[in-house]
């Protein structure tokens, strides 16, 4: 088990794109989208993982992640995951930290969110000029919530 400490932000502009490397396309399906426990299947290329997350705080979650055979993940995604989403993830190294920029597809487009994993909840980090409003405490921006309640259905923010 690990503890994932993560903060999330909207983006002010597209200036981050000049710093981004090649993205990975991710497909995610959810067996559980409860705040207290999330169970996710993630497929990237020809690899797959099963991840269980438990709520600790708005910033921290317990995380158990296991690589699983791709055929198992595909079957789970098709038969057991009622909620799904797809996104493209870019990584940007910025002053000692890695920002992961998620650009969502389908019903969650045109949403783009920056995530930053930290060593502890109070860790200081440099904020790039393209980083916008912090949304860490807004549960609507979690992937689990977005899989069940797509951004396009929110009717504006």
For the domain that residue 57 is a member of, what is the CATH number?
2.40.320.10
- Which residues are identified as catalytic? 30
Token pair, residue 33, equals 């989208």
Give residue 29's domain range.
2-153
Q: What is the pLDDT of residue 2?
A: 94
CA 144 vs CA 38, 45, 69, 126: distances in Å: 7, 21, 22, 28
Helix, strand, coil proportions of the chain in percent (round to 5)? 20, 50, 35
Q: How far apart are CA 61 and CA 71, in angstroms?
A: 28
Give the total number of structural domains in the chain: 1
Q: How far apart are CA 125 and CA 149, in angstroms?
A: 31
Q: How far apart are CA 26 and CA 21, in angstroms?
A: 15
Taking the CA atoms of 152, 74, 22 and 67 in sequence, report the sign of the dihedral they define.
positive
Tally Cβ neighbours within 10 Å of residue 142: 21
User: Please, where are the H alpha helices in 12-139?
Assistant: 70-79
User: Please, where are the H alpha helices in 70-142?
Assistant: 70-79
Q: What is the pLDDT of residue 156?
A: 61
H or E segment and range at residue 60: strand 60-68
Per-residue pLDDT of the chain (157 residues; tens, 9 = 90+): 899 999 999 999 999 999 999 999 999 999 999 999 999 999 999 999 999 999 999 999 999 999 999 999 999 999 999 999 999 999 999 999 999 999 999 999 999 999 999 999 999 999 999 999 999 999 999 999 999 999 999 976 6
H or E segment and range at residue 146: helix 143-148
Query: Angle at Cα 25 formed by Cα 54 and Cα 70, nearest 5°?
Result: 70
């Amino acid at each position: 088990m690990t503890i994932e400490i993560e903060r999330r932000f909207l983006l002010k502009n597209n200036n981050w794109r000049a710093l981004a490397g090649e993205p990975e396309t991710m497909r995610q399906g959810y067996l559980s989208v409860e705040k207290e426990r999330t169970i996710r299947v993630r497929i990237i290329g020809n690899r797959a993982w099963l991840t269980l997350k438990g709520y600790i705080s708005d910033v921290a979650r317990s995380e158990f992640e296991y690589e699983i055979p791709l055929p198992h993940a595909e079957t789970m995604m098709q038969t057991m995951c009622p909620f799904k989403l797809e996104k493209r993830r870019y990584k940007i190294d910025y002053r000692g930290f890695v920002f992961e920029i998620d650009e969502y597809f389908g019903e969650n487009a045109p949403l783009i969110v920056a995530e930053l994993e930290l060593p502890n909840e109070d860790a200081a980090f440099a904020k790039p000029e393209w980083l916008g409003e912090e949304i860490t405490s807004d549960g609507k921006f979690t992937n689990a919530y977005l899989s069940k309640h797509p951004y396009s259905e929110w009717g504006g923010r």
